[in-house]
A = this chain, B = another copy of it.
């Protein structure tokens, strides 16, 4: 099948945090665009920054050989460089301006007919604005946090979940041998998907997520109760965004460590200290940090990413701009960017995953 006469050349970029599967999307976009539709593809480097600064590279089939199993992105990515709020230095001080026109210039310089933006809520929101301004754009949802609206799952999540679950498997053996409490801090600043799913998959005793402010007494009760039952160790999974009912402590902590909870270990260490003081049990903390963003994507993520990439090219040739590919049950579908951004998808309190966790006897801190 040939593409609509007007589409001859596609641009693609990866924005926001790194996620396993980005290369699989790029590979699918390039292969399908070239083989199936006879289009050419250009990649913009380091997210929207490359579109603004006109940093780009032609992408041929040769460029995507062997990248399917690799983590990271051959195009580079960044959390910064919002074209509608771009930092420039004026009169010696930093101000933020709208440089989105540069994007339209560079798009036309490269003769790009449509742009595929692979990114999370931030990048897709920018894509939405660019579409509103007249750019032919299609989105691909990406985040290891799995907190995007309008899709059943994002690629990268399954790999991050797998990394966290393998960590719990390892901590189990040593916690058991040493009669210790092990705290694993995982990503999830606003949604607890990784913590909840990994906690269930890894047999955690306590799972603390942002959606459910916790009472430390509940956590301590759980550990003491297990002690009484002869279970002399416990495993606690904490999402980096988890907070106590009285959130002061953490808010203050965030300030101290310049808003980067990863830097000083953040909430994981707070919980560990409180538990150790209250129970007298040796408590140890592991912070997975960026391990969760790295590594070869799981089979699930490679397939989802490949289907997303293929589906995005289809949206382009069908001229369905301003849409994002998404997963609905077992099918790939499309949804308007306006419905997909601006809000995160928290763990629903009535979800059966959460219910299953409760019924298994896992403490959720409430």
Chain A residues packing against B (C-beta within 8 Å): 14, 17-18, 20, 22, 28, 31-32, 35-36, 46, 68-73, 76-78, 152-153, 158, 161-167, 169-179, 182, 197-198, 200-203, 262-265, 269, 272, 284-291, 293-296, 298-300, 302-303, 306-307, 310-311, 313, 328-332, 351-353, 355-356, 359-361
Which of B72, B298, B299 makes the CB contact (< 8 A) with A176? B72
Contacts of A76 in B (CB 8 A): 177-179
A329→B329 contact, CB < 8 A: yes
A155 CB to closest chain B CB (Å) equals 12
Q: How far is the CA of A294 from the CA of B179 in the complex (A)?
A: 13
Q: How far is the CA of A172 from the CA of B290 in the complex (A)?
A: 10
Contacts of A163 in B (CB 8 A): 170
A331→B311 contact, CB < 8 A: no
A284→B294 contact, CB < 8 A: no
Contacts of A32 in B (CB 8 A): 356, 359-360
Which of B178, B182, B352 makes the CB contact (< 8 A) with A307? B352
A329→B167 contact, CB < 8 A: no
Closest to A180 in B: B290
B287→A287 contact, CB < 8 A: yes
Contact A174:B331 (CB < 8 A) given known A31-B361, A265-B264, A356-B307: no
B353→A299 contact, CB < 8 A: no
A35→B361 contact, CB < 8 A: yes
Contact A152:B299 (CB < 8 A) given known A169-B294, A286-B290: no
**What number of copies of this chain does the assembly contain?**
4
Closest to A362 in B: B31
Contacts of A307 in B (CB 8 A): 352-353, 356
Contacts of A77 in B (CB 8 A): 177-178
A74 CB to closest chain B CB (Å) equals 9
Contact A201:B303 (CB < 8 A) given known A69-B169, A294-B171, A295-B169: yes
A290 CB to closest chain B CB (Å) equals 5
21 residue pairs bridging A and B, Cβ less than 8 Å apart: A14-B177, A71-B174, A71-B177, A72-B172, A72-B174, A152-B329, A158-B299, A162-B298, A165-B299, A165-B302, A169-B296, A174-B290, A200-B302, A201-B300, A265-B287, A284-B289, A285-B287, A287-B289, A310-B355, A311-B356, A332-B352
A334 CB to closest chain B CB (Å) equals 12
Contacts of A17 in B (CB 8 A): 178
B302→A331 contact, CB < 8 A: no
Contacts of A332 in B (CB 8 A): 352
Contacts of A296 in B (CB 8 A): 169
Q: How far is the CA of A152 from the CA of B152 in the complex (A)?
A: 13
Q: How far is the CA of A32 from the CA of B169 in the complex (A)?
A: 22
A72→B298 contact, CB < 8 A: no
B201→A170 contact, CB < 8 A: no
A306→B200 contact, CB < 8 A: yes
B173→A18 contact, CB < 8 A: yes
